[in-house]
Amino acid sequence: MHPVRKNDQLTVRIEDLTHEGAGVAKVEGYPLFIQGALPGEEAEVHVVKTLKSYGFAKLLEIKQASPDRVTAPCPVFDICGGCQIQHLSYEGQLAFKKKVVSDALARLGKLPDVPVLPVKGMENPWRYRNKSQIPFGMQDGEVAAGFYRTRSHVIADTDTCIIQSEEADRIMRGLKHRLLSMGIEPYDEKTHTGQLRHVVVRKGRATGEVMVVLVTRKKNLPQKERISQLIRELVPAVKSIVQNVNNEKTNVIFGKETLTLWGTDAIEDRIGDVRFEISARSFYQVNPDQTEVLYRQALEYAQLKGDETVIDAYCGIGTISLFLAQQAKAVMGVEIVPQAIEDAKRNAQLNGFTNTLFEAGPAEEVIPRWYKEGRKADVLVVDPPRKGCDSHLLNTILEQRPERVVYVSCSPATLARDLRILEDGGYRTKEVQPVDMFPQTAHVEAVAWLQLEE
């Protein structure tokens, strides 16, 4: 039997935070997860669910607050699923994120001695997102827009989001209050009716250029000219207004067809000295200021002197590849998404790089073929999705044995797992540098430097 039951009300001491930012209390060794509670706090909670080895409780009252507790400035923080730790001071957030990385390495990777450096944070940890994906819907007869509530598809209606750009806020507010008068209904995912599903706003941080993507259920969008005019009035810096058609019953935001309604097909941004062309569906890091910090760290760990060949697995649209190409003899990028490779080639051309090669396909198949063709890497860079490196790619690294591996990670758990595999295969993790790409959320990125031990 559990020491607690559903609907129990009790006072607990918060001991820790989960990697998702929920407080952890233990009652006779039984963990209770409590959203909104912070370590060191004494709180009254109401048990809402019990499972075999852990339970969930709702925070009722904080009896003793943490010195790191702050008042979350967002009016919908308590219900919105976008941010998890606005109630934690920024210094506290950085300390929490370092601990998440260190704990993952020690517990999951059995690597307690790897140095984890202090997290590189932002001077101003607000308004950092250059891409906003805003769902639209109806609530109580009014148009609602914002972000989804935690673990749901119910919109937390708001007029402002303080981690997205002010341009995105202006477009969200302006469309929300004038949609119905233009004869455009927001989408209802239960009945698969209505027209406007999402509005995606992208901004070039260095250039100031703005793109607005209207994701609609049908190609026929009433008042196209009027809506384009409204967007241009709301944000004079807009350079591209695009319609994307998604008629599927799906949680996926974009459909297959994209049409330019006004202006250019793409906007441009820069990370450091490297220019990037961004179209409606291009993958591009959402925090360009910290992306530069992240990539400069990857460049530092790559230790390029100018005569190295670098392979960039999971290269995307070539963001890291082109950063490395500034200092390497040659950079070869591989990515499974053909459209991303086309973007990478175009971005290389845009910057005048002649020392890059990009190929579409699975990294674990393309890289061994390159090696057979005599194209060997001195340095291999991986920037995998949250699930980590494919096991075949890890085997490829261990077979080909590049001198250095730079691992850019968005998941401390899969980073720890993969580092353990590479360590068992003869590499040593010299150090790990976490970078705060997503302030106010529980996410943390990290760059690891691995060296082949002879």
Integer Cα distance of 363 and 370 in angstroms: 10
Structure-block tokens of residue 17? 């935070």
Decide if 412 contacts 19 (C-beta within 8 A): yes
Query: Does residue 315 have an active-site annotation?
Result: no
Indicate the residue type of 377: A
How long a stretch of residues is the chain? 454
Of 220, 130, 139, 121, the closest CA to residue 176 belongs to 139
- Which of 3-9's residues contact partners 24+ apart within 8 Å by CB, and which partners? 3/27, 3/28, 3/29, 3/30, 4/30, 4/32, 4/47, 4/50, 4/55, 5/47, 5/50, 6/47, 6/48, 6/49, 6/50, 7/46, 7/47, 8/46, 8/47, 9/44, 9/45, 9/46, 9/47, 9/60
Nearest to 377 by CA among 340, 333, 423, 416: 333
Choosing from 74, 83, 315, 410, the catalytic residue is 410
Nearest partner of 385 among 418, 357, 358, judged by Cα: 418
For helices 90-107 and 412-424, angle between their N-to-C axes, nearest 10 degrees: 40
Beta-strand relationship, 330-335 and 309-313: parallel
Choose among 356, 259, 277: nearest CA to 317. 277
Strands 55-64 and 30-34: parallel
Q: How far is residue 328's CA from residue 33's CA, in Å, rounded to a whole number? A: 48
Tell me the backbone φ, ψ of residue 132, rounded to 5 degrees: -125, 130
Whether 230 and 261 have beta carbons less than 8 Å apart is answered as no
Task: List, by residue number, the catalytic residues.
Answer: 410
